Amino acid sequence: QASSVSGPEADMSSEDVERLLIQFQDENGEILGSPFDVPLDITQDKLQLVCNALLQKEPVPLAFFVQGEMEVVSSLGTCVKALGVETEQVLPVVYQPQALFRVRAVTRCTSTLQGHTEAVISVAFSPTGKYLASGSGDTTVRFWDLTTETPHHTSRGHTHWVLSIAWSPDGKKLASGCKNSQICLWDPVTGAQIGRTLTGHTKWITWLCWEPLHLNPECRYLASSSKDGSIRIWDTVLGRCEKILTGHTQSVTCVKWGGDGLLYTSSQDRTVKVWRAKDGVQCRTLQGHAHWVNTLALSTDHVLRTGAFEPANATVNPQDLTGSLEELKEKALERYNKVRGSAPERLVSGSDDFTLFLWNPAQDKKPLARMTGHSALVNEVLFSPDTRLLASASFDKSVKIWDGRTGKYLMSLRGHVASVYQIAWSADSRLLVSGSSDSTLKVWDIKSGKLNMDLPGHADEVYAVDWSPDGQRVASGGKDKCLRIWRR
């Protein structure tokens, strides 16, 4: 039965505002409570109060969407008028819980870390945000102390440019791959190399990806992709190659280890292949792109990267993860299931043919959606940490935001004057930072679609950008050999 304040039907009274019957639904379509009769000029915070009361849990910030598309920003009335919805019927209103914590936008450069003697090519924060590592063209990997913003260790061992670095999900190891096809493992605390240098690939390493924490809390296996067209799975404890996955005919540009035990790889031969991690068997080939596939993104990327670390529990001084392996695995698995929900992981691939494809790789060979609109090649795609949005950075100087579930185009962020190289989401999915070849970084507010902060300062192109998982800092490195840290 409909509960209402005055009258059961939506009646048009002459002196006060029109009323409307609405039904709260969550993202998966499950109905919450019974239809409510509300005035048309009800605002977003009143809706939030009502919904939170119905949810009977701790109050969470919520966002409301009418007909799944339009967000209720000011009042319900404006949405209804804009969409032209019939006021006679019950209107479903979808509520989406937003992240509890808010990440503040970074505004200033707190330090310029010099030390590298060549361009900084890759930058990565550890999963808890405690350590920062950077790989550069001078063949070293440097670790930086974040509390004092000074150099911590310089790790030498590579013989050519360090092209890609990857932290293990427990934050205890860093893997780095170089242009001479060697992979080294480093300990962030001492800066020393762990174990042997892993050799085996014949051409340079393009991407490194660790096995997720909830599948193996020891963080033992590492996948590497290379220009020679093969993917190797390494056992870091024994220091040898476990499996070699061949199948691609040209350079493999990206490899991602999914949370369900599947490996996804993209290559310059225009295909994306899905492999089973256990036995290295190829499951599927996803075809459709017309040119090189440059980048991949999984909807659960952020949660796999941070493992058992919960950004809401972050403190000002980042701490290491404590607890036994079992506890960490439990926490990681819990976080993973929460983000993944009931639907399987989604995969997005960006390519040189200026389009992106949204796939459901575990089930289908056919793409869910093809996202067109860019006028130059797409360099990087990233899902937001809450998997609702998708951002793509392209050489046409714009960043485009798409819906993470359907692939529908939402907005374009313009402001850069040269190709956008890399992007990074903040942990609460409200802000996005993009680094470009015009030497600036820009922080965008997703809700309004506008530029929040412009961060100039680099002297030359910005090659790598990363936002720490606890949301406090942004690190960027570029051709001018400096690493800059930005804070609020």
Partner 1 sequence: DHHERKRKKESREAHERSHKAKKMIGLKAKLYHKQRHAEKIQMKKTIKMHEQRKTKQKNDDKTPEGAVPAYLLDREGQSRAKVLSNMIKQKRKEKAGKWEVPLPKVRAQGETEVLKVIRTGKRQKKAWKRMVTKVCFVGDGFTRKPPKYERFIRPTGLRFKKAHVTHPELKATFCLPILGVKKNPSSPLYTSLGVITKGTVIEVNVSELGLVTQGGKVIWGKYAQVTNNPENDGCINAVLLV
* Residues that bind partner 1 in the complex, under the rule CB under 8 A: 118-119, 121-122, 136-139, 159-161, 163-164, 204-207, 227, 251, 253, 268, 270, 288-292, 294-295, 353-355, 370, 372-375, 379-380, 421, 463-464
Of the pair 212, 288, the CB lying nearest partner 1 is at 288
- Closest distance to partner 1 from the beta carbon of 462 (Å): 10
- Closest distance to partner 1 from the beta carbon of 161 (Å): 5
- For 307: left if phi > 0, alpha if psi spans -120 to 50, otherwise beta; the answer is left
With CA atoms as reference, report the closest residue to 487 among 29, 112, 32, 4.
112
Question: How many residues appear in the chain?
Answer: 488
- The answer to whether 416 touches 395, Cβ cutoff 8 Å, is no
Q: From CA 97, how far away is CA 63, in angstroms rounded?
A: 6
Of the pair 230, 355, the CB lying nearest partner 1 is at 355
Of the pair 24, 167, the CB lying nearest partner 1 is at 167
Tokens of 337: 């299931």
- Closest distance to partner 1 from the beta carbon of 463 (Å): 5
Terminal CA-CA length for the chain: 50
- Closest distance to partner 1 from the beta carbon of 76 (Å): 32
Of the pair 236, 355, the CB lying nearest partner 1 is at 355
- Closest distance to partner 1 from the beta carbon of 106 (Å): 22
User: 356 exposed, middle or buried (CB, 10 Å; 0-12, 13-18, 19+)?
Assistant: buried
Of the pair 10, 222, the CB lying nearest partner 1 is at 222
Of the pair 366, 447, the CB lying nearest partner 1 is at 366
With CA atoms as reference, report the closest residue to 407 among 371, 379, 382.
371
Q: What are phi and psi of 82, to 5 degrees?
A: -65, -40
> Which residue spans within 168-291 are E strands per DSSP?
174-178, 183-186, 193-198, 205-210, 221-226, 230-235, 240-246, 252-257, 262-267, 271-276, 282-287
- Closest distance to partner 1 from the beta carbon of 148 (Å): 27
Of the pair 42, 401, the CB lying nearest partner 1 is at 401
Of the pair 79, 223, the CB lying nearest partner 1 is at 223
Q: From CA 242, how far away is CA 185, in angstroms rounded?
A: 16
User: 52 exposed, middle or buried (CB, 10 Å; 0-12, 13-18, 19+)?
Assistant: middle
